[in-house]
Chains A and B, each alone.
Chain A
């Protein structure tokens, strides 16, 4: 009998509110070492809120823990310093700044260690060679796909222990989505745990070892993508 893989990230009864509106209800999820876990669901299901709640950007009850230690609540700086790094919805790149400056900000906590900075930059540019060609270009002037690459590259510059990705396919052409997903598969294969929130379920299910389905703020299913034979298998949860 093999031992169950270690749980890197775990939430227990994680609930989030925006004022009087409860956007997430008692969510229990976990991500194991080296795993890519997808969170699927229709628009407004609370997927982005789940990531914001883990990071401490939303008002929450319940717990979120990383490597067994509870993550601080309402303190995203402390959470990200543990290596829990979010690539936000809409990419959140710093448009007026150059690609190089955006990447430097990714390594914000790295104070003056040039060798380590160079190592991280080389890794990012090896993964996304196109960023290397655009280092002195303003980030806002790049295409949507390149901006998404930059957003992921910038997150990698902080040497994350787990990556939280919010809708990386948003507004991108299918060819570009395939390219981004291919890069995420590479990161997964390198052993980086990823929690991927995605509306485009087929693309996410190709990569994920497990998938949670979130509807109206509640986790309604935890699936093994290999068990899904057709879109209808997934659709039934959306109309739960």
Chain B
């Protein structure tokens, strides 16, 4: 029997027709980053923070968008990565790169210890448990003053760099953050198309059906959680080295709310979603700054309109059309 399929010429044609639409968010994002690189200064700083959030939200997307689990506690892992890297570089004079790696490893180990019992919970219970993880980490950052300096925070954190080479300029930081963000998105795309990524998606669609196919649901959930924690820790470590300062507020609940907003506005479950969401939500307050006292009102209205008219996020407008053929 012959398998019904398209010829290679037909496939190439389909791909070419779909490409301009799929490439649009990437092209616009590249243009925004390129513009920030040219003008530098404040715009470059805003986009640099947005790129740090691209890493954070990409990790959140793996756990929430692909595996369809809930976590309000990813800020805890960003905090662990950030504080570990800050303490190791300022107190123990570690070079930046090993300190960042140590921060990520620490966050993953803590995520493993916490995740093993916590991920037995589902739905709202899992959400509450992860929220508690974030709150506990925040309290530790406040109270463990001998290590974290409490509310005063840690200053003098060295900038990103390798060995004696430090990236001090805003353009230099923007360039390195662009590479890291792109790498994070690329890794997420590779995970999504891998065997493990398909297991994440299966788990997200139906736990029982996934179990019936022989997918180890508990292990898959844990791997998604650890991967998201690693992304969050990397984002936290990048943040402290870009700003040069860390305090508990940096990794507070505000970070979770911002991450969620970026994920849902950009498009949960899509690869481009975190990039679109992080750039848009970071730029929106700057665009609306002219409205002065009404800035928050316009910001809130814009978010509500976006979620009404793009409930699957902006990335949904750029998805491949042939994936959603009509039923017959």
Contacts and interface: CB of A to CB of B under 8 A. Distances in A.
Interface stretch (A122-130, A178-186, A229-237): A122-130
A97 B326 contact: no
A138 B324 contact: yes
A122 B214 contact: no
B3 A122 contact: yes
B201 A97 contact: yes
Contacts of A121: 3
A199 interface: no
Nearest to B66: A96
Contacts of A85: 212-213
Contacts of B205: 93-97
B1 interface: yes
B163 interface: no
A112 to B, nearest CB: 9
Contacts of A108: 195, 198-199, 202, 213-215
A86 B208 CA distance: 10
B216 interface: yes
A158 B322 contact: no
Contacts of A125: 1, 3-4
A55 B212 contact: yes
A101 interface: yes
A150 B327 CA distance: 13
Given A85-B212, A108-B199, A108-B213, A141 B1 contact: no
Size category of the A interface is 35 or more
Nearest to A85: B212
A136 B4 contact: no
A104 B197 CA distance: 12
Contacts, number: 102
A146 B327 CA distance: 9
Interface string B196-210: 001101100110111
B208 A92 contact: yes
A2 interface: no
Interface string A65-80: 0000000000011001
Interface in B199-235: 199, 201-202, 205-206, 208-217
Contacts of A129: 4
A97 B201 CA distance: 8
Size category of the B interface is 20 to 34
B328 A143 contact: yes
Interface in B238-258: none
A81 B323 contact: no
B325 interface: yes
Contacts of B325: 134, 136-138, 141
B269 interface: yes
A154 B217 CA distance: 18
A142 B213 contact: no
Contacts of B322: 136-137
B4 A77 contact: no
A171 interface: no
B3 A132 contact: yes
Given A94-B201, A122-B1, A141-B326, 12 more contacts: A76-B211, A80-B212, A81-B214, A87-B212, A92-B209, A94-B209, A105-B198, A108-B214, A111-B195, A136-B322, A136-B325, A137-B324
Q: Give the top 6 A-B pairs by smallest Cβ distance, nearest first.
A: A92-B209, A132-B4, A94-B205, A80-B214, A86-B212, A137-B325
19 contacts: A76-B211, A80-B211, A80-B212, A80-B214, A87-B212, A88-B208, A92-B206, A92-B209, A92-B212, A93-B209, A94-B209, A98-B323, A108-B199, A108-B215, A122-B3, A126-B1, A138-B324, A138-B325, A142-B327
